[in-house]
Structure 1
Amino acid sequence: MLHLKESISVQLNGHTNGQSNGKPKSARKKYSDGKSELIPVSVGSGTHRKNVQNKTLLLWTTQAILGLSVFYQKQYVLSPKVRAAALSLVFPGAGYIASANILGGVFFLLTFISLPPALFAWFGAGGIFFPILIWALSIPGAYYATGKTVFSYGGIISLGLLVSFITYFNRLSATARTKATEKRNTRNTFITNELTSIDTLSTPAPPDADRELSLEDLRVIQYVFDQASKAHDDWSEFNVIDQFQTSAVRYQLYEMMYCLGMYIGIYTPNFHGYAASAYLNTIEKALTPKVLGFWKWETRWGKFKTDYDPVVEDNIMVTGFFLQALMLYTSVTGDHRYTKPGSLKFRLSDKKGDEFPHSIHTIDKALVRQWEANPYCFFPCEPNWIYTPCNFYGFTGQVVYDRVFGTTHSERLLPAFEESLNANFTEPDGSILPIRSELTGFTIPGLCGALTDLVNAVLCRGYLDHVARRMWAIFRHECVNFTSSGELELTGLVGADKLDPGNYRASDFAIYPHLAYVAGEYGDEKVRKAANKKSDEGFGVKTTESGAKVLDPENASLAMRTSRVRAALLRKEDWKKLIGEGPSKTALAGPILYSVPYPGVLVAKARSHDSKDLELVLYPSAASGIFKLGVSRLVPGQTYNYGAEKSVKADAAGESSVEVAVEGRTHVHLTPA
């Protein structure tokens, strides 16, 4: 087991103790708690987004006019091949209409068969190279396919198709905006009452001093200990499908880190041992080529660059998620190892030159710089595509960074961040868009569903609480119902709401693990327990060799399994408190349980109440027995009592070992004699 005591620096009179210096916390009150939870009428009115869209349409229109002008001009005698090639500027494959022959028809069909996967590669992996390539190839393709004559009405047909395409989507968008505005008005009529009901019926979390995990919940969390402790080349039970979208292994690793951060920060702030070791192992595993190698490809086909540093530009799907994970670890353990220059070595391959040294500070600097520089404030994940969830993860990490290191970046950035969220990334009905193209200003229709509203109720927590609470009120009111027999049922789910994002399989149960942990965060124990029951019954539960309980990996992705772990951890405002406050000063200054045998012992509670004692609740992970526990950060030479007539003396380094008989729920309280 890793011994963390040497790298932990706890300074109770400074910002490294995990406590706020006051400024970021006050900023959260100023920009969140004091704002209305109703949907503003200004949502979706962003001028920058509209300007970018207008520039995109102007460029396309100019290009189409140029192509049509060359096709129909009379001043110069141009060959049919040149005229058809010029018409391809109207849209990909338009020149084949002018060819008006079998070869042109075959090429036209091939162009439109290849466009959907090219556009998907652009959306899914930032590969703007692919649709550009298809369009570019259609120009010489039309030249080659055209014979000695050209179809003179090809230009008119091409123009008609283009105008019809733009008009259709313009009308579709206008109709959607009208309906969304009506929906916003409807939502604003129930949000306040719904939140009142949510607050009234919520179950408060136990006081910090009483936080303790049941054996049932420990068995669920145990699965993360097992997976997070695996070797860097062991990917068993991971979903290895692609490294570009939601099934990517990096997200599976980050989610395990978040679970470990919640476990330590909420229940065991004075236990490091195998929990912190697993956390560190997962951080290091996330820096390996298997996880990061994708970025070389995205840089090539999305940015047309060969500077592959995964931190400096347009990669918040790594830096945002990772900063949150790193800052949770730093906050809940007090271990500042990753603040040292070069302590994080991002390896894209095993080749020389593909390793990029960074630290928490350089990652944070890159995020702050891009939030400041981008006109959207939000900045891209896949090159050229801005995902709001990635930016939410990153901003959460920023809030924790400011609290731990005494900076005020989140306070300074939050007004512009929220303004852009409302103006550029929120629909007129109040739902938050998951994606927008930085280059064109357009989004992908149909991606914004009930699941997006649900997860944003936690993603915005801790800095945009009025937005987070609004999202939960909307989902709770519109989607959650109980039948007369008390059975939980969800309504209004469409599309991606019924998809397991970790394995891309259709699933009626994939939303329930998410619902359970969000309900837990808002103290809705009725929904949390019912959602856990639905996911357990729907996916099935498997008991592993170590005794851990997990959603059946044959049915549920690792993303679903870790979401189920979150649901076992979170109670009312746990995530908000973990982000905004972190562990208490007394916990961070108190004795540390640094060595525990695993398999052997499960730790349900580890907390110092006065920075001098250490209270533990333990369970055997398998057979009962006598286990040796290592405790550090004691007063050198001090005698400590534990159990009936048992005592131990700390050595000169402030360490000691105690032997404890662990059988069933075992309570141990180490106190100065």
Structure 2
Amino acid sequence: MSERVLTAQQTGHLRHFDNLSRQLPNDWSLMQARTHGQDGFNAYRYQLAYMTYALALTHVHRLPAAPGLFQPAMQRLLDKLLLPEAWMYWRDTGRGGGLLNPRMTDPTSQDWDPVVRDNIMYSAYVQSMAMLHDYLFDSDQYAEPGSLTFQFWTMHWGGEEKLFAYDRTSLNDHIYWQLVQNGYLGVACEPNCVFQICIQPAILGFRLHDLITGGKRAEETIAGYEQAWADFGRLGENGHYNVMVLQDSKILIGNDGASAQMDGWCGSLMNMWNREFVHEHYPRQIADYVVHGPDGTLSVPPASPANMNGQQVTRDSDGNFGWLAAWASEMGDERTRDGLLAHADRFMNPTWRDGGLYYPRNDTTTDADGNLVNMGPMTGNVLLGYARLNVPDGLWSLFNHPLPRSRFEEPALTAVARDVDVSRAEVVDGVLHTRLRRPRDVPGDGTVTISRIAGRGRWTVTVDGQPAAVVDGTTVRPEPGPFTDAVHVDRDQVVLHCPATPHTFTFRQDR
């Protein structure tokens, strides 16, 4: 069986992402964290973004011939990111002075527009998610004026509605010029805080925009960014990634070695364009964090409280745990990734819901035996699935290996019903291979639409290696057997009716 066949756990994570994307607007079930509003690293924006990244990596590296599985989910996730619940925090956060420099501006100077200044911790995800969609699916959907619009109105405040219209190009340009105005050091998240991690998603967006439209904006950004950070150093004396620079004072805030999350997050994404550097320092950095458990399991030490603006703030441990797993997957460190996932499967309550796999929120830090059980929605919904689905240097390859145009001309699954699991979808030597299964407990009609076959000559369809049908132009001649009614043509599309048990379908053009 092909190494590209996904495991049940991997397809379970994909289905959980899909389930969350299908929740009604403002239904954030399973996504709420214990922090109020959208403070902290479990915020909706991060969950939505890294689900999208995980889907993109899975599509590119594991299921390249299944755009119909990924495109609708990625679009729904971006639709959710544009909802006011995901960005209204900025009305108040934008008036502050950041984590370490509290100051409030004039109360009337609120920025309703969530991307007009700072807030790269939101704007870069809108930008990169829109670019990923259009790049992966050969689309100009988010090139349309107003296709990325932030809109809000409430009767309780009165006045005109707040409406700020952007598209992929105008938002890309706006982020870039903020970066230039800041001397390429970065763009602040909350005011005054320029995190080293937070420009990384924007660099991905710049690169994808270059691949879509031409240009060298990513290359220019990286060169300027490298020069700006040379004055501070990427790593502190302890070998860990420096966290941020305070924009007004140019004070550097390092990593005290307690934040695996900062190292894992920064290292995972920086690997896109700085691979040699990230790989060089990874072994020593990650060795400072992992804790060995029984039977090859790995974990992280419980996070200690942090002093933020004079308050002792509880820090969840799951961000450290989840980001180390994601980082290990990008580094190709299967031993660490698998050890962390084994700990999660043993101690963190893996749960199946509506055919999807996730790890539910748990605010308790450790169990009675001292095993880490703390789990927040970013790790439980997203990062552990991301780690399972990613491949070594997955982001690096996406960044550095442009998709060939032939990809959009080959046979592909262009529509997939909700109740179909796809564990393989790839074209090898001109032959489409797809492995499909229809779960019984998920609603849908069990169909898959395959494009670029009907009307293009004669194709032989097999199921598990046995002839099932011949598609000749737009005519189907079924073979006798259990799959006689599995294939038909609807206009210029081939439609498969999926069985309840997993089977491999192949489509081979007769020469």
Give the Å deviation of 1:252: 1.8
Higher relative contact order (CA 8 A, sep 6+): 1
Pair 1:541 & 2:334 matched: no
Counterpart for residue 275 of structure 1: 70
Shift in Å at residue 597 of structure 1? 2.0
Match of 2:388 among 568, 572, 587: 568
Q: Is the 8 A contact 2:179 2:187 kept in 1?
A: yes
Does the alignment pair 1:633 with 2:445? no
Helix, strand or coil for the counterpart of 1:479? coil
Matches within 5 A, 1:479-498: 479-480=289-290, 482=292, 486-488=296-298, 490=300, 495=304
Residue-by-residue CA offset, 1:481-525 (whole Å, 9 max, x unaligned): 65796453557x75379xxxxxx8655555333222222222222
Q: Aligned pair in 2 of structure 1 residues 421, 622: CA closer, same or farther (>3 Å)?
A: farther
Unaligned runs of 5+ in 1: 1-205, 498-503
Task: Please give the alpha-carbon distance, in whole angstroms, between the structure 2 residues aligned to 1:576 and 1:550.
Answer: 26
CA contact (8 A) 1:519 1:528 kept: yes
Contact 1:433 1:448 in 2 (8 A): no
Identify if the C-alpha distance between structure 1 residues 348 and 335 changes in structure 2 by more than 3 Å, giving closer, same or farther. same
1:664 aligns with 2:501: yes
Task: Report the alpha carbon displacement of residue 564 of structure 1 after superposing the two structures with TM.
Answer: 0.7
Secondary structure of 1:323's counterpart equals: helix
**Alignment pair present for 1:620 and 2:438:** yes
Q: By how many angstroms is 1:287 displaced?
A: 0.9
State whether residues 238 and 257 of structure 2, in contact with CA within 8 Å, keep that contact through their aligned partners in structure 1.
no
Residue of structure 1 equivalent to 2:80: 285
Number of the residue aligned with 1:259: 54
Cα separation, partners in 2 of 1:483 and 1:352, compared to 1, 3 Å: closer
Match 1:390 to one of 198, 219, 222:
198
**Secondary structure, counterpart of 1:259 in structure 2:** helix
Question: What is the CA distance between 1:227 and its match in structure 2?
Answer: 0.6
Decide which of 338, 342, 345 is 2:149's aligned counterpart. 345
Q: Which runs of 4+ in 1 moved over 6 A?
A: 623-626
Bigger Cα displacement from structure 2, 399-408 vs 468-477: 468-477
Q: Tell me, in whole angstroms, the C-alpha distance in 2 between the residues paired with 1:425 and 1:392.
A: 16
Shift of 1:383: 2.0
Distance 2:202 2:51 in 1: 17
2:470 paired residue number: 647
Which of residues 202, 206, 228 is equivalent to 1:420? 228
Show the 5 A alignment for 1:46-61: none
The structure 2 residue matched to 1:530, chosen from 331, 339, 342, is 339
**Distance in 1 of aligned mates of 2:94 and 2:325:** 37
Write the distance in 1 (CA, Å) between the matches of 2:238 and 2:212: 36
1:472 is aligned, of 251, 271, 282, to 282
* Structure 2 unmatched runs, 5+: 97-103, 307-312, 364-374, 475-488
- Indicate conservation of the 8 Å contact 2:438/2:500, yes or no: yes
The residue correspondences of 1:39-438 to structure 2 (distance < 5 A) are: 210-239=3-32, 241-300=36-95, 304=106, 305=109, 308-349=112-153, 352-375=160-183, 377-424=185-232, 426=234, 427-438=236-247
Residue in 2 that maps onto 1:605 = 424
Q: Which amino acid aligns with 2:121?
A: M
CA deviation profile, 1:558-582 (whole Å, cap 9, x unmatched) = 2012001111101212221122225
Query: Secondary structure in 1 aligned to 2:325?
Result: helix
Task: Report which of the two has the higher share of strand.
Answer: 2
| 338-347 or 517-526, which deviates more | 517-526
Residues 1:596 and 2:433 aligned together? no
Relative to structure 1, is the Cα distance of residues 314 and 217 closer, same or farther in structure 2, using a 3 angstrom cutoff?
A: same
Deviation at 1:634, TM superposition (A): 3.8
- Following TM superposition, by how much is the alpha carbon of 1:307 offset from its aligned partner in structure 2, in angstroms? 5.4
Cα 1:245–1:552 shift into 2, 3 Å: closer
Indicate conservation of the 8 Å contact 1:461/1:468, yes or no.
Answer: yes
Do the aligned partners of residues 449 and 216 (structure 1) sit closer, same or farther apart at CA in structure 2, a change above 3 Å counting?
same
**Matched-pair contact (CA < 8 Å) for 1:454–1:515:** yes
Aligned residues: 456
Greater Cα radius of gyration, structure 1 or 2: 1
Q: Secondary structure at the match of 1:314?
A: coil
Partner of 2:399: 579
Q: What RMSD, in angstroms, separates the aligned Cα atoms of the two structures?
A: 3.1
| CA positional deviation for 1:382 | 1.1
Contact 2:331 2:392 in 1 (8 A): yes
Secondary structure in structure 2 of the residue aligned to 1:371: helix
Query: Which residue does 2:481 correspond to in 1?
Result: none
8 Å Cα contact 1:547-1:622 kept in structure 2: no
